[in-house]
Amino acid sequence: MRVVVQRVRSGGVSVEGRQIAAIQDGMVILLGIGPADTEEITRTLVQKITRMRIFGDSQGKINLSIKDTGGAAIVVSQFTLYADTRKGNRPSFTDAAPPDLARQLVDYFIKCMQAEGIPTQSGEFGAHMLVQIENDGPVTIWMEA
């Protein structure tokens, strides 16, 4: 599982001109699923993300988690995080999970985020999306599990 977590002031997702997700103050999470990923890996990663201290406290120090701030999240399925660019000029995506497994684990990731108390919206699996990210900081964290 590969994840890019961005701390945002606002974020949104649109598909075919209609907005399907929008948040203020929280995280936009780009989520790539690999063929060996499991529900256990998903739960562990969600716990790490929801406890990660990347938000400012009253003195401006990065000392709070999304749980502490009451922020929201948008999760966007992003198979391109598994791009293999070692050969040629066209990335290969054969290292990404097959769509059935990826869809199942993306949905499970969202449910786990919600179970942690984080209001979580999502993009649309398999759709061409426009993702708006107003990165705050900028704070961008890359994770792999």
DSSP 78-122: -GGGG-B-SSSSS-B-TTSPPHHHHHHHHHHHHHHHHHTT--EEE
Say whether 125 is catalytic.
Answer: no
Instruction: Please pick, among 50, 55, 79, 120, the residue that the annotation labels catalytic.
Output: 79
Beta strands in 33-145 (DSSP E): 55-56, 62-64, 72-77, 120-122, 130-144
- Determine contact, residues 11/74, Cβ cutoff 8 Å: yes
Instruction: Please pick, among 6, 78, 120, 121, the residue that the annotation labels catalytic.
Output: 78
This prediction's pTM: 0.96
Say whether 42 is catalytic.
Answer: no
Instruction: Please pick, among 19, 24, 80, 93, the residue that the annotation labels catalytic.
Output: 80
Alpha-carbon span 53 to 29, nearest angstrom: 15
Q: What are phi and psi of 52, to 5 degrees?
A: -65, 125
| pLDDT value for 82 | 98
Q: Structure tokens of 65?
A: 């988690």
Say whether 55 is catalytic.
Answer: no
- Find the DSSP H helices in 9-98: 39-51, 66-69
Residuewise pLDDT in 10s, the chain (145 residues)? 999 999 999 999 999 999 999 999 999 999 999 999 999 999 999 999 999 999 999 998 999 999 999 999 999 999 999 999 999 999 999 999 999 999 999 999 999 999 999 999 999 999 999 999 999 999 999 999 9
Q: Give the domains, in start order, of the chain with CATH numbers.
A: 2-144 (3.50.80.10)
